[in-house]
Amino acid sequence: MSSNQTDVVFFDENGLRTDQRKPDEIRPMKIKIGVLSRANGSCYLEWGANKILAAVYGPREAHPRRIQLANRAVIRYRYNMQSFSVEDRARPGPSRRSSEISKVSREAFEPVLFPEDYPKAAIDIFVEVLQADAGTRTAAINAASLALVDAGIPMRGLVSACAAGKVDGKIVLDLNKPEDNYGDADLPIAMTEDGKITLIQMDGHLTPSEFEEAMDLVQKGCRQVLEIQKAALLEKFASVMDDDDEEV
C-alpha cells in the first residue's frame, strides 16, 4: 500500500486503484443517443459517476444577427455545471472555469466540422453536467461528439477525449475524483479519429519522460473511447441502416 501526504491510499497491494481499476483502465461508459426531441441531436452519457447531457442545434441562422459571419458558420459550445452536480453547490451561471472549458472544447471540434459550408449559420453545442466526478470536460466532449452525429452535422470524424494523470508517482488513465483532487497531475486531451490532438491541457507537474508516458497512455484511452462511441452509434443507427438496405 502506498499513500501521499494527504493520506489517500491510491493503490492496494495488487496495484489496483481506489475503484479497483488497473492503471491503464478507463471507467465504465454508458451512452444513449437521441434522448431529447427538440434538439437536432442529443446524447446522454455516463462515465463512472459523471452524468452528462449534450444537445446540438443547427446549422441554423445565427442569432443575434451581429454574430453572423459572411463566409462561415459560428460554432458555439456551452459547458455548464448544474448547481446540484457537485458536492458543494456550484454557483449558477458562467464562471472562469466554465468559460475556459467551453472555449477549449469548441476549439476541439473546429477541425472536424465544415463551418465554411454554412455562411451566416450557427452550430450550437450545449452540454450540461448533471453529476460531476472528475473528467467532466472529457465526458462532455465525448457526449457532444455523438450529439453532433445525431444532429446529422457533417464531420470529418468523431472526437474522443480522455485524461491521464499522475498519482503517487504512477501514470494512470482516466482519473477518478480522489485521484483528480489529490494526485500530482491531470492531462486531458481530445483526439480526432485519425489521431490529431485537438485539445490538450495540463494541471500539475510531469517530467518530460512522464509526459511522454502519459501522452502514450491517454491516446490509447481516446482510442478505447472511440470504440465505445462507434458501438453506441451502431446500436442507435443499425436499424436505420438496415431499412436503407431494404430500400435499395
Contact residues: ligand CDP, CB under 6 A: 86-87, 90, 97, 132-137, 177, 180, 186
User: Closer CB to ligand CDP, residue 40 or residue 160?
Assistant: 160
Residue 107 C-beta: closest distance to ligand CDP, Å: 15
- Name which of 152 and 204 has its Cβ closer to ligand CDP: 204
Min dist CB 67 to ligand CDP, Å, is 27
Rounded to an integer, what distance in angstroms lies between the CA atom of residue 243 and that of residue 248?
A: 9
User: 42 or 136: whose CB is closer to ligand CDP?
Assistant: 136
Residue 32's CB is within 10 A of a number of other CB atoms, namely 16
> Dihedrals φ, ψ of 209, to 5°?
-75, -35
> Three cell numbers at 99?
468559460
Residues 6+ apart with CB under 8 A from 195: 219
Q: Which is nearer to ligand CDP, 122 or 127 (CB)?
A: 127
Going by C-alpha positions, the residue among 140, 237, 142, 144 that lies closest to residue 191 is 142
Nearer to ligand CDP, 29 or 132 (CB): 132
Q: Which of 173, 78, 176 is nearest to 129 (CA)?
A: 78
For residue 245, the minimal CB distance to ligand CDP (Å) is 40
CB of 147 to ligand CDP, least distance (A): 18
* Dist. CA 203–CA 246, nearest whole Å: 52
Q: How far is the CB of 105 from ligand CDP (least distance, A)?
A: 10
The closest of 107, 141, 146, 148 to 124, measured between CA atoms, is 148
